[in-house]
Structure 1
Amino acid sequence: MRIDIISVVPDLLTSPFSASILKRAIDKGIVEIHIHNLREYATDNYKSIDDYQFGGGAGMVMMIAPIDKCISDLKAERDYDEIIYMTPDGKTLNQGTSNELSLKENIMILCGHYKGVDQRVRDHFITREISIGDYVLSGGELGAAVLCDSIIRLIPGVLGNETSALTDSFQDNLLAPPVYTRPASYKDWDVPEVLLSGNFPKIEAWREEQAYERTKALRPDLLDD
């Protein structure tokens, strides 16, 4: 998979891709991450990428011309399955979306900034708009990093255990069951006996029951779906 990220402040994206699972995925050649500084596509000598909004109002707007040039240059090199815009008013990211995007080959992500982008960018270039929650950040970079992490960890070969991602919360609209490790007893707090039984069908049934009960208690809205 190749992911191209267009950003006004690319330095914000240095850290997320230089450690842990994302770095290993890059080092293994499973995924390529390319970060593009939008200012390099500015059309004036001042490297301007934003301007005042028509009609007045507070806040600057990302201009269409630099974005058009950047997207057009990238599309001239390859076809993209999705061109995603990170924005607070996009569709909220969920596990199903991450599952779907993990099957793509080439993805482009545009990080919003200021008051957002010229609406014509959204109308003519963007294929999908994604938010990571009902709140506003200074820019879309952190949201793009979250999106990339949620996608990349699902790609075969990224995690050490291929089945690990399949048992995460929100797969099948359920929260993950409780998990335990050694010691089996700590300060008189004991691990449920079923997990020590070696009876794997019984353990699996217990986990399914716990997942359902946790979801019912903490996120009943998931069961409605």
Structure 2
Amino acid sequence: MKFDIVTIFPEMVEAGLAGGVVGRARARGVLDVAVHDLRTFTTDRHRTVDDVPFGGGPGMVLKPEPLFEAVDWVRAHRGAPDAVLLPSPQGPRLTHREAVRLSGLEHIVVLCGRYEGVDERVREALATEELSIGDYVLSGGELPALVILDVVGRLTAGVVGDARSVEEDSFARGVLDYPHYTRPADFRGMRIPEVLLSGHHAEIERWRKREALRRTSARRPDLLATATLDEEERAILEALETRPGT
């Protein structure tokens, strides 16, 4: 899968790609990630990427010319992207379902905004969609770009070592993840559930399903309306609803 990230702070994005599963996947060539300095696509001696807003107001606005030039360069040298994303609090929320959809694409460009935002013509004629990572405002689009890259990239085959880690993640089937424990079995008087030491794989699997559903019901009950549950999970959920202490 191919990503192109356009930013005025390429070193910030590169630092975020230096480690972790996405960084290792990039080093192995499983993910093709190119980071572009927006100032490279300016034409004046000062490499200007922003200007004052028409009509007045605080802050600066990213100019349209460098952003359009950057995407034109990507099209010419890296191929036509399937999507040009603009991280923005005005876009729909990035969810696991959206990440799965995006992971089916071959090539994504992410435009990182800054200051008061980008010229509206970038939204209208360049970005194919906007995405929000939450109802808050950040200083720029670099952190959202890294979030998008991580969330989408890890769904690509070969990025995560064990595919089950992705399949069993929270939200993958519409339920939260079950609790995880590792050694020691007893830490400061806190002992792990005995079933995990039993070696009985069927019982362990049932415990994990029950705890995932219990956690989802308590913390994110809204997810259960669209969750993909098997017959055993539906029975467990019914028992939890009728006998909460089950």
Tell me the equivalent position of 2:193: 192
CA distance in 1, matches of 2:88, 2:132: 5
Letter in 1 for 2:133: I
TM-score (ref. length: structure 1): 0.94
Tell me the equivalent position of 1:67: 67
Q: Which runs of 5+ in 1 are unaligned?
A: none
Tell me the equivalent position of 1:117: 118
TM-score (ref. length: structure 2): 0.86
Tell me the equivalent position of 1:168: 169
Alignment deviations for residues 136-169 of structure 1 (CA, whole Å, 9 cap, x no partner): 1111001111111111222111222121111111
Aligned with 1:88: secondary structure? coil
Alignment deviations for residues 183-203 of structure 1 (CA, whole Å, 9 cap, x no partner): 222333221122222222222
Tell me the equivalent position of 2:217: 216
Q: Which runs of 5+ in 2 are unaligned?
A: 227-246
Letter in 1 for 2:216: T
Indicate the percent of aligned positions where both proteins have the same amino acid.
Answer: 42
Q: CA deviation at 1:224?
A: 4.1
Report the structure, 1 or 2, having the larger strand content.
1
Tell me the equivalent position of 2:143: 142
Tell me the equivalent position of 2:158: 157
Q: Higher mean Cα deviation, 67-76 or 190-199?
A: 190-199
Aligned with 1:164: secondary structure? helix
CA distance in 2, matches of 1:91, 1:171: 19
Tell me the equivalent position of 2:55: 55
Kindly indicate whether residue 33 of structure 2 is the aligned counterpart of residue 33 of structure 1. Answer: yes
Aligned with 1:207: secondary structure? helix
Structure 1 stretches of 4+ moved >6 Å: none
CA distance in 2, matches of 1:187, 1:118: 56
Q: Tell me the number of residue pairs that the alignment of Structure 1 and Structure 2 aligns.
A: 225
Q: Higher mean Cα deviation, 183-192 or 22-31?
A: 183-192
